[in-house]
Structure 1
């Protein structure tokens, strides 16, 4: 594999109950997720078979289940859980996950707040090495 290609999914908007404050957990709000997957798409292009790529519709459903599922305090934690879902597919080598929280309880006017995590399968392999 000489270089990696990308699958990008942006603007996935899902209702969730994440946040530090009780009101955020009770009322909930919409979160928006952007994903960028790095993987080889050479096999999928050659076979024209969805089984040879990451099915972005199925990925969107899995990510939506995480966002609408068990509440967490921090969007950093939410982004990490989403990255784990993406990396569960062995073809994905790297993932970038941005979680937007445009309705965060911030006392001053703002357009958006977001967190981005970048995770790599190569990095995961290094973590498994013990000295």
Structure 2
């Protein structure tokens, strides 16, 4: 299956288990892989035959930066996948990765990442 891949979306949100995460917020990185046939837009060269990734970015940005606060990045990833599948009926499958580069814990590492893969029912 063909796919459109959006990587390294840098967003600022207020998600987390700890109250200070909800008050101060932090940076998140989101990657999305949208699986859909791209033969039609490949031959038509028309934006209406594909997913406008600028619009998809705005959907993701609103979820991370403006919508409800999630305690877990697992829930944030799940919500991103569900909304994109609902918004763009052409997507057959989707993979969403959410990275929390600096979780407020006493550990030294490059952050934590969740990855989910969902298929249209």
TM-score (norm 2): 0.95
- Say which SS state the counterpart of residue 90 (structure 1) adopts: coil
Match of 1:66 in 2: 63
Q: CA RMSD in A?
A: 0.7
Match of 1:129 in 2: none
Match of 1:30 in 2: 27
Q: Could you list the structure 1 runs, at least 4 aligned residues long, displaced by more than 2 angstroms after superposition.
A: none
1:54 correspondence with 2:51: yes
Structure 1 gaps of 5+ residues are: 125-131
> Which of 1, 4, 7 is 2:4 aligned to?
7
Match of 1:128 in 2: none
Structure 2 gaps of 5+ residues are: none
**Equivalences for residues 120-131 of structure 1 within 5 A:** 120-121=119-120, 124=121
> Which of 71, 81, 88 is 1:83 aligned to?
81
Structure showing greater radius of gyration is 1
Deviation, structure 1 residue 85: 2.1
For 1:40 and 1:106, how far apart are their aligned partners in 2? 42
For 1:49 and 1:85, how far apart are their aligned partners in 2? 24
Report how many residues are paired.
119
